[in-house]
Amino acid sequence: MAAKKNGKNEAQPRKAGSPGGPRKPSVLIDDTEFVKVWQASSSIADVAKHFNIEDATILNQKAVRMRKHSVPLKSMRGGPRVDYSELIVLATELAPEAS
């Protein structure tokens, strides 16, 4: 329950062992800026880097909320896209010979 100070409720920080863990610091990102950066980026990691945010989860949550309000944000994966064709060639070259 929130403690009262001067007749007003004040949120108390959660302890590390409490349900939900400690509260994350709030991040204020301008919605217009967010949409511009999101639509121009190739991954959520790029968006997080732009806004200097370690936990990209909050950015994905912001995108989900905006989509619920009919903002047509593109879908993205968390990290940069992987070119598997190059990895297939590399793994084939490095594979031991079948006897």
Per-domain residue ranges for the chain? 27-80
> 80 or 1: which carries more pLDDT confidence?
80
Mean pLDDT across the stretch 19-46? 81
pLDDT at 64: 94
pLDDT at 16: 53
Q: What is the DSSP string of the chain?
A: -PEEETTEEEPPPPPTTSTT-SPPPP----HHHHHHHHHH-SSHHHHHHHTT-S-THHHHHHHHHHHHTT--PPP--SS----HHHHHHHHHHHSPPP-
Mean pLDDT across the chain: 80
- Confidence (pTM): 0.54
Q: Which of 60, 62, 64, 28 is nearest to 44 (CA)?
A: 60
Decide if pLDDT at 38 tops 90. Answer: yes
pLDDT at 32: 95
